Amino acid sequence: MAGNLKLAMMPGMDENGKPKEDVRIETRGEGGYFLTSPTPGYEVIEHSLLAVPAIFPAQVELIHSLARTFDQRQRKEQLDKTTLPPAKKVPHAGQELPGGRFNTENTVAALLTRYGWKASKKETLGMGWTRPGKEEGTSGVLLDSTGNFYVWSSNAFPLDSQKSYSAFALFTAYEHGGDFAAAARNLANRDHQSLAPDVVTVKQEHKAEQSGESSNKTVARLAALSPIQYDLVRKDEAKILGIRPATLDRVVKEARKGDKDNDLPFIEVDPWPEPIDPARLLTDIATEIRRFIVCDREISHAVALWVAMTHVIDAVQIAPLAIITAPEKRCGKTLLLTLLGRLVARAIQASSISPAALFRTIDAWGPTLLIDEADAFMKDNEELRGLINSGHTRDSAYVIRTVGESYTPTKFNTWGAKALSGIGHVADTLMDRAVILELRRKMPHEQVDRIRHAEPGLFDDLRAKLARFAEDYSDQVRQARPPLPPSLNDRAQDNWEPLLAIAQVAGGDWLQTGTTAALKLSGSESATQTIGTELLADIKEIFDKKAVGRISTADLIKTLCADDEKPWATYNRGLPIKPRQIANKMKGYGVMSKTIRFNSVDVAKGYEKNQFDEAFLRYIPSTPSVCVTPLQANNHEVLPVTDNPLRYAYVTDENISKQAPPLACNVVTASPHRPASEIVEVEI
């Protein structure tokens, strides 16, 4: 016999004089116990404990029926059913039955609260509830999978242990003693709107919140949370209230109106109802980007990965900037920024923002910031650049400001995805923390669609699928460790790691596609070269060209300024760079000028090449060796092209053994007539 059954009860009083029901007859099943001899006060009247008699199911039912005749509870089925209103006609096909309509309009959680149950704690299968008369513990669970209530306790009368109940089944058990026909007749004879006085409905009271607070208090409490805190609890709170998360979002947003600090400037999107294919989703996004924007394929792939990153921002540790740049206007920068606003999570788009507004916006709403005209208002704004830089890494994404008349130190969060758009390159520190998306002006033969002509719901569907991707794959993105291209510098590897993690999780060819984009967009360090490294590279070039081991500062400046395409001739406000400016720049790399004797007479300030060895290795990217041997004309040699098929296996057969005509050409070789001291041996 499974579980315990209370077959007969009788009215009684508790120690406070309040009515209660006492057990007269009950069964003890598996896990139960009973008292007998030799316990003091008990004795065996008949039979033996060594041979417990067995009874058949029919006899069990007979015993239970006899025991129930001693029950003195006022049960609903004992009411005079003739007092019920006459039943209405049975609904015809397609018309909703009372029980189904009841389940639609009422929630299990609301009914449990009405009948004295209290939400306890989250269990594996769903929210746990404590039965009436018990202060703590889980007596049943509201199943996440079905939305029904499964009873664990054997003391949850009138509910049976090990049984599942819908809203209508709960109503029937408590209001009609388990008589479904009577409950259906009662509901069928009621007007739909008249259910409110008897049953707590979702649209009215919502008293299913686990603390017992009213729906208004629940909404007020949720409205006071930060966006990140609210996002963590919105699904559970909506489930407790028995409503969809989107409905709760709208209610909370309405509650926040009037409070500009909390009024969300974006609409949260519900995840796509069905599982999605991440690789197909990224491909669709990249395709739509090229449909509206003139750009290289690698840029569209990088944008697709960056857009996906904004939806899983809580699962990554690095948030690379997306910097949209172009050499001139009318290249599609603002258009791409607008397109990002249709796809990213919690987008806020602005053409200017102050430092205080930036960190307060991020701390209050946790958005994806899309900032246009960055070249205009960020040029001399060091504080704003510092704030944006601080949000690159999660661990350091905080700033501290004093707040209020008491100047209370307050910590503000700056973590989040950000995209900047402007003409030319922004500050080096920003470029170094970014994925650079360089656009070009559309040529006459290049055709793209206008965003305003996009199909209705196109971007809403893509955002919903991205939200579903975040819901299903965030943990995998968090745990992913994609292979990073070794040719990228350390900062570029940091920037691309979250994007390649998404590509790895997406599967298909996306890891290779993302790696190709990373090498194309961030494979060269020249785009992020600072004025210091540029000066260091030019000094190295001078030492290499002159083939000397030391140089005076005066000769160094003269050589630097000889190249009109370099900035040094006008570096000092239109005048040539000064020795002190060179010294200050080189000091940061551990290189100091010294007094050098160049011959028996000349002594001057200057630098020795070996002073720069470590700086050259650390800060100047290695480049392929270039032969500096003078080029000589070839007047007689016939040079074979790809004459060894084993060595040039990737060349088509039709090119093998073709020979160049005996025309004048340059060959890489040393002149036999030059002295050995002028010949430079280069490793190829």
pLDDT at 497 over 60: yes
* SS3 assignment for 606-669: EEEHHHHHHHHHHHCCCCCCCCCCCCEECCCCCCEECCCCCCCCCCCHHHCCEECCCCCCEECC
pLDDT at 610 over 60: yes
In sequence order, the β-bridge partners of residue 140 are 129, 151
Each residue's pLDDT tens digit, 577-608: 999 999 999 999 999 999 998 887 888 999 99
Angle between helices 227-241 and 245-256 (to 10 degrees): 120
Q: Which residue has the higher pLDDT, 487 or 56?
A: 487
CA proximity to 667, closest of 624, 625, 647, 638:
638
Q: In what order do the strands lie in the sheet with 368-371?
A: 347-350, 368-371, 418-423, 321-326, 434-438
pLDDT at 474 over 50: yes
DSSP type of residue 670: -
Rounded distance between C-alpha atoms, residue 393 and residue 396, angstroms: 6
pLDDT at 207 over 50: no
Which of 388-392, 403-407, 443-447, 518-522 shows the lowest mean pLDDT across its residues? 403-407
Local confidence band at 89 (pLDDT 50, 70, 90 cut-offs): very low
**To which H or E segment does residue 258 belong?**
none
Rounded distance between C-alpha atoms, residue 358 and residue 346, angstroms: 15
Kindly report the length of the chain: 684
Decide if 633 contacts 666 (C-beta within 8 A): yes
Local confidence band at 182 (pLDDT 50, 70, 90 cut-offs): confident
Q: Which residue has the higher pLDDT, 21 or 430?
A: 430
Rounded distance between C-alpha atoms, residue 168 and residue 108, angstroms: 8
pLDDT at 78 over 50: no
Local confidence band at 364 (pLDDT 50, 70, 90 cut-offs): confident
Joined together, the tokens standing for residue 388 give 């944006």
b/e code 242-251 from CB counts within 10 Å (16+ = b): bbebeebbeb
Terminal-to-terminal C-alpha distance of the chain: 87
Local confidence band at 73 (pLDDT 50, 70, 90 cut-offs): low
The mean predicted confidence, pLDDT, of the chain is: 78
- Whole-angstrom CA distances from 273 to 242, 315, 466 are 18, 22, 12
For residue 444, is the peptide bond before it cis, meaning its omega torsion is within 30 degrees of 0? no
**Res 15: pLDDT:** 64
pLDDT at 297 over 80: yes
Compute the average pLDDT of residues 334-341. 94
The most distant pair of C-alpha atoms in the chain lies apart, rounded to whole Å, by: 131
Compute the average pLDDT of residues 237-244. 80
Phi, psi (deg, nearest 5) at residue 323:
-105, 115
CB within 8 A of 151, min separation 6: which ones? Answer: 139, 140, 159, 160, 161, 162, 163, 164, 165
Which of 57-71, 364-378, 607-621, 637-651 shows the lowest mean pLDDT across its residues? 637-651
**Res 139: pLDDT:** 85
Decide if 439 contacts 295 (C-beta within 8 A): yes
Sole residue written with tokens 């600090």:
261
Local confidence band at 429 (pLDDT 50, 70, 90 cut-offs): confident
| pTM tops 0.75 | no
Rounded distance between C-alpha atoms, residue 473 and residue 503, angstroms: 12
In sequence order, the β-bridge partners of residue 410 are 401
Which of 148-157, 297-306, 485-494 shows the lowest mean pLDDT across its residues? 148-157
**Res 201: pLDDT:** 39
pLDDT at 519 over 90: yes
Decide if 6 contacts 26 (C-beta within 8 A): yes
Rounded distance between C-alpha atoms, residue 397 and residue 394, angstroms: 5
Joined together, the tokens standing for residue 160 give 């049976």
Each residue's pLDDT tens digit, 625-679: 434 344 444 444 444 443 444 333 333 444 434 444 444 444 444 444 444 444 4
**Res 626: pLDDT:** 38
* SS3 assignment for 459-483: HHHHHHHHHHHHHHHHHHHHHCCCC
CA proximity to 421, closest of 527, 493, 358, 338:
338
Q: Output the CA torsion sign for 70, 72, 77, 79.
A: positive
Decide if 110 contacts 205 (C-beta within 8 A): yes
For residue 38, is the peptide bond before it cis, meaning its omega torsion is within 30 degrees of 0? yes
pLDDT at 571 over 70: yes
Rounded distance between C-alpha atoms, residue 572 and residue 575, angstroms: 5
**Res 77: pLDDT:** 41
Local confidence band at 224 (pLDDT 50, 70, 90 cut-offs): confident
pLDDT at 620 over 90: no
Rounded distance between C-alpha atoms, residue 439 and residue 294, angstroms: 7
Q: Which residue has the higher pLDDT, 125 or 437?
A: 437
Q: Which residue has the higher pLDDT, 180 or 416?
A: 416
**To which H or E segment does residue 346 belong?**
none
Q: Which residue has the higher pLDDT, 203 or 362?
A: 362
Compute the average pLDDT of residues 17-46. 67
pLDDT at 59 over 50: yes
Decide if 276 contacts 141 (C-beta within 8 A): no
**Res 341: pLDDT:** 94
